Every structure is written in structure tokens, then in C-alpha cells.
């Protein structure tokens, strides 16, 4: 019906295809940038990764991607992002490793809102200090996508959304312009572009990941040791889900370190160690979500491996709360 309306009534030809989008956008970026530099903040998420790949295709080494690794990503994820962009794409790639700085700021902090605030502020400072120091001219690029900027017809017309461009860039840094090559695309279109540009499947289909990273999955105080425990447990979960083919059936799954210690017995000796929780959900839109009905034998295997392979963990539980009333993340 819609198709009939578009083709037979409106006489559209149907030229909106991702191949032609890539070609046109590459030309546009070249024309706009000339021989100047472009700097992009790469988070390792889908949107900024696809934007990076697209701009790289257009201007190669004129693009610099700055990747702040605060040490709160999943196991080996920082290396995966670095390898992807240095090996598969032509660009300057700058990785800032700053786990120690982040952890020292988080020392003794356990309130979730305080943690979020600290991680956000620290990220902002590290990123923009680097930009100010080395890349404070030319163009700034970001992976804004269409749903980020649609004005709703519902609200009060007078209340126009602050343009996201203005948000974030410190006033003393003057770029020529902001480049947002994905600003007209929906998420599924962004993924299609990413696949066409040769980004790895795991990156294109990456699950939603909170801005503060594992900082909000390590409940309570965030320490290097507790981040390591969570990363190991989460990696085992991902490995098993990949092996049994369930990974692609879940919308999102991850491990949480609730900060609860329980008593156990391992090798005839009493233990008193961390508890790991497994969270897995299925959803169409993330507005509502159902806990995933993972078969017991798979859960059993995950539990067994985590307790055996991750030191300082002696118990694993599975979260069977839907959203609502729960949320997908724990804090």
C-alpha cells in the first residue's frame, strides 16, 4: 500500500540506497573538507564507528580518531577497536589509555549517580584536553543519527530542542564546522552502511553499552580488581552465548557484579567471595523487555565456567526481572 502510494501515486523512482548514499556522502565530505583535518571522537559504539569508517573512506589520513579508553569497556574491547581501525582503515588513530586516572577518581565512590557524574566529567576533560592540545582546528565529526534529532510533533512548538551540535564542544575550541555524515539515517541504515564499508560484524551489531561502561555494572566501588573480575565473567558469558548460537537471539546480555559476597565451599575449604549476576533480555524497541528464557544447560555451563575460571567468584545468579518493572541495566 505504502509502496503503491510511493511508486504509483507519487511516481518515485526509489533511488535511496545505501551504496549511492555512501558515494554521495564521500563526495560531499571531500568537497566540504578540502585539504583540512577532521577529528572524531570514537567511542567504539556503532554510530561513531560507522561515521569514522565513512569519513576514512572519503579523506583517509586527514581523519584523526581519538579513542578514550577509560578501562571500563568489556574484556579486550579497547584492543579490538584499535585493531579494527588501524588495520582495516586508513586514518590517524589516537588511543588514550587512562584507566588509572579514572579509577583514582572513582576511589571510595559507590553512589551510582556520583559514579556516572565522575566518569562523564573525567571523560569530557580527557577528551577535550587532547583535542585542545593537538587538534583544535579544522572540522569536528560525530556520529549523530536521525532519531537523535527528530523534532516531535507532540510537544510545544515554541520549545525547540537545543541543537546537539552546540552541546559538548567547549567554547574556546573553534572548529570550522561540524560534520555529521549519518544525520539523516536510521539505525538499521547506519548498520547497513557499516557492513558495506567492511566494519566487522561484532562492531556493526554491537549491543547497547552504557556511556559509563562497566562503571555501572560493577555495583558499589569500582576498583581495578573488580573490573577485571567482571570482564572475565562477561567474556565467558559472551563466549558461551556465541558458541550455542544464542548470542544473535538476545537483544542484550551481560554480567553484573552486584557487590554481594556469599559463603561457599570449594576444595573442602570455606570461601567468602563475589557473586556474579547474569542479565539477558529480548526486546523489539528497548522500551519494554522480557528476560530471556535461556535453556538451563547453557546457564549451567556459564555458571560452572565462571566459578572455575574467575578467581574470587563463588556464586552465579540469573536475573529474571522484566522491564518494566526492572530496567535492563542494574544502575
Partner 1 sequence: MNKETVIVLDFGGQYNQLIARRVRECNVYCEILPYTVELEKIKALNPKGIIFTGGPNSVYDENSLHYTPEIFELGVPILGICYGCQLMAYSLGGNVVSATDDAVSEYGKTVTDYNPDNILFKNIPSQGISWMSHRDYINEVPEGFTVSAATAHCPVAAMADPGRRLYGVQFHPEVNHTENGKDMLRFSSTPR
Using CB atoms within 10 A of its CB, is residue 11 exposed (0-12), middle (13-18) or buried (19+)? Answer: exposed
**Could you say which of 184, 221, 239, 329 contacts partner 1 (CB under 8 A)?**
184
CB 178 to partner 1: min, Å: 18
196 vs 305 by CB, closer to partner 1: 196
Q: Which of 188, 265, 268, 297 binds partner 1 (CB under 8 A)?
A: 188
Q: Is 248 in the site for partner 1 (CB under 8 A)?
A: yes
Give the interface segment with partner 1, choosing from 78-86, 152-160, 210-218, 293-301 (CB under 8 A).
152-160
Q: How far is the CB of 235 from partner 1 (least distance, A)?
A: 21
- Which segment (147-155, 216-224, 228-236, 262-270) binds partner 1 by CB under 8 A? 147-155
Q: Is residue 147 involved in binding partner 1 (CB under 8 A)?
A: yes
Per-residue cell: 122 = 573525567
Minimum CB separation from partner 1 for residue 203, in Å? Answer: 14
What nine digits make up the cell of 54?
565513512
Is 19 among the residues that bind partner 1 (CB under 8 A)?
no
- Minimal distance, residue 74 CB to partner 1, in Å: 19
Is 153 a residue that touches partner 1 (CB under 8 A)? yes
Q: Is residue 287 within the footprint of partner 1 (CB under 8 A)?
A: no
Query: Using the rule CB under 8 A, which residue among 87, 107, 154, 293 binds partner 1?
Result: 154
* Contact residue for partner 1 among 14, 108, 324, 325 (CB under 8 A): 14
Task: For the CB of residue 22, give the shortest distance to partner 1 in the complex, in Å.
Answer: 13
Nearer to partner 1, 85 or 209 (CB): 209
Q: What span, in angstroms and rounded, lies between the C-alpha atoms of 292 and 328? A: 11
Residue 31 binds partner 1, judged by CB under 8 A: no
| Closest CB to partner 1 among residues 11, 113 | 11
In the complex, the smallest distance separating the C-beta of residue 244 from partner 1, rounded to whole angstroms, is 16
Residue 260 touching partner 1 (CB under 8 A): no
**Shortest Cβ distance from residue 295 to partner 1 (Å)?**
20
Residue among 99, 102, 116, 205 that touches partner 1 (CB under 8 A): 205
Q: Which residues of 140-149 are buried (b: 16+ CB within 10 A; e: fewer)?
A: bbbbbbeeee
Q: Can you give the C-alpha Rg of the chain in angstroms?
A: 22
Q: Least distance in Å: CB of 188 to partner 1?
A: 5
Rounded to the nearest 5°, which phi and psi values hold at 198?
90, 20
Q: Least distance to partner 1 from the beta carbon of 214, Å?
A: 24
Tell me which residues touch partner 1 (CB under 8 A): 1-17, 24, 28, 147, 150-154, 157, 184, 186, 188-189, 191, 205, 248
Amino acid at each position: 500500500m505504502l509502496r503503491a502510494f510511493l511508486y504509483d501515486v507519487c511516481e518515485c523512482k526509489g533511488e535511496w540506497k545505501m551504496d549511492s548514499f555512501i558515494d554521495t556522502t564521500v563526495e560531499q565530505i571531500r568537497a566540504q573538507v578540502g585539504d583540512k583535518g577532521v577529528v572524531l571522537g570514537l567511542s567504539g559504539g556503532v554510530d561513531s564507528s560507522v561515521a569514522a569508517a565513512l569519513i576514512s573512506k572519503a579523506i583517509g589520513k586527514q581523519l584523526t580518531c581519538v579513542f578514550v579508553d577509560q578501562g571500563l569497556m568489556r574484556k579486550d574491547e579497547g584492543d579490538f577497536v584499535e585493531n579494527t581501525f588501524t588495520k582495516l582503515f586508513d586514518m590517524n588513530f589516537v588511543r588514550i589509555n587512562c584507566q588509572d586516572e579514572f579509577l583514582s577518581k572513582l576511589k571510595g565512590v559507590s553512589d551510582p549517580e556520583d559514579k556516572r557524574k565522575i566518569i562523564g566529567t573525567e571523560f569530557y576533560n580527557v577528551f577535550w584536553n587532547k583535542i585542545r592540545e593537538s587538534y583544535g582546528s579544522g572540522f569536528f565529526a560525530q556520529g549523530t543519527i536521525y532519531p537523535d534529532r527528530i523534532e516531535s510533533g507532540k510537544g510545544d512548538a515554541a520549545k525547540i530542542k537545543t541543537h546537539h551540535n552546540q552541546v559538548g564542544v567547549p567554547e574556546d575550541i573553534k572548529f570550522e564546522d561540524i560534520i555529521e555524515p549519518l544525520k539523516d539515517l536510521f539505525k538499521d541504515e547506519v548498520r547497513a552502511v557499516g557492513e558495506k564499508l567492511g566494519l566487522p560484524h561484532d562492531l556493526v551489531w554491537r549491543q547497547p553499552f552504557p556511556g559509563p561502561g562497566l562503571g555501572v555494572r560493577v555495583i558499589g566501588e569500582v576498583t581495578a580488581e573488580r573490573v577485571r573480575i567482571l570482564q572475565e565473567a562477561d567474556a565467558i558469558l559472551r563466549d558461551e552465548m556465541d558458541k550455542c548460537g544464542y548470542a544473535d537471539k538476545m537483544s542484550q546480555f551481560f554480567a553484573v557484579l552486584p557487590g554481594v559476597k556469599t559463603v561457599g565451599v570449594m576444595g573442602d575449604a570455606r570461601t567468602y567471595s563475589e557473586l556474579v549476576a547474569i542479565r539477558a533480555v529480548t526486546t523489539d524497541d528497548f522500551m519494554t523487555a522480557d528476560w530471556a528464557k535461556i535453556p538451563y544447560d547453557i546457564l549451567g555451563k556459564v555458571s560452572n565456567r565462571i566459578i572455575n575460571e574467575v578467581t574470587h567468584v563463588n556464586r552465579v545468579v540469573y536475573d529474571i526481572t522484566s522491564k518494566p518493572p526492572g530496567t535492563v541495566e542494574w544502575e
